[in-house]
Structure 1
Amino acid sequence: MTPETISDTPTRNVLILAEDEDITITWTRFSHGERGPDLHVHHEHTDAFYVLDGELTFELGPQSEAIRVGAGGFVAIPPHVGHSFVNASGADARWLNFHAPDCGFAGFLRTLRAGTPGTWDSFGMPADGGLPPDRAIVMPPGKGHEMPLPGFVVRDDTDAGWFTHPHANGVVAVLRT
């Protein structure tokens, strides 16, 4: 797939790198101060981030617990855990975002690009606050080989950690640490 541009502005770039019903992978750049969506939950998929450059601050759970993650760090947010994110650092932040399964994410991004409303597996915070933020997996830089994701196979090579899932239909993400 040729990368598909969703947004290309001085403060934000979003590209769809891979799209499949089992996973969609995007590349994103936010300038200082750019925010992601308001605090929300997903019901049917995991939302994961691998920070390539800079730093993102993730806000997890109903109290928006702030967790800063720098380049080489990974965050996986399972269904029903409230989350948002912001680039609160003084530099650009770039990351890969994985939605597994897709649950309409790529299509939703296209509606944003077109300026039309769209719906997908994203909901406001539930009255009970959702699952606790400690259900999210947060791996600091250099610790990806210790990632405890059930069903994933992890192999460390000299230059890359390879992460794949048996149901990913051949989709493999290469994460350089």
Structure 2
Amino acid sequence: MGFRFRRSARLGPLRFNFSKGGLSSISVGGRGASFNIPMNLNGGARTTVGLPGTGLSWSAEPASGLPNSRRLRSGQLDALKQTLLSVLHQDLFSPGSPGEQLWEQGLVSRLLANGSLPARTTGLLALIETQEAMEAYLQRAQGQDDAKRRAHRCISAVQEALLLIDGQRMLG
């Protein structure tokens, strides 16, 4: 295995990544959701959505001709939303997962009915109370960045719900 060098610098929302050969890529975003644009010709742009602290993430190059810009045509934005929904279902709510139990056992509804949660937490949990609520929330996205931000909020909502449920020993 050869020696590797990586260094990065931030300028506002942008992160410039350097390698031995100079500028290697520019990234936007942070933990949980990022968009990477390589500066060399042998790699394509990449979008990553992950669950911070777990090591779980999904990363893909834009599919079906999705452009690497913030402005997507209507059909392309719809395709992105469907892809994000599919990833959320596969990674967070797959059969037998704790996320699936949130919906199957109505645990998020029980947390919301408690009434003692802060308003911010209540709003976050309401996003994933049901499958339909999560899908409607993501479908309301107005652009590529908005869709990614909404997907990341859904991931955060699942994390928050699982922490609360574990604290109350409701999952079993």
TM over 0.5: no
Larger Rg: 2
Structure with the bigger percentage of helix: 2
TM-score after normalising by structure 2: 0.23
TM-score after normalising by structure 1: 0.23
- Which structure has more relative contact order (CA 8 Å, sep 6+)? It is 1
Structure with the bigger percentage of strand: 1
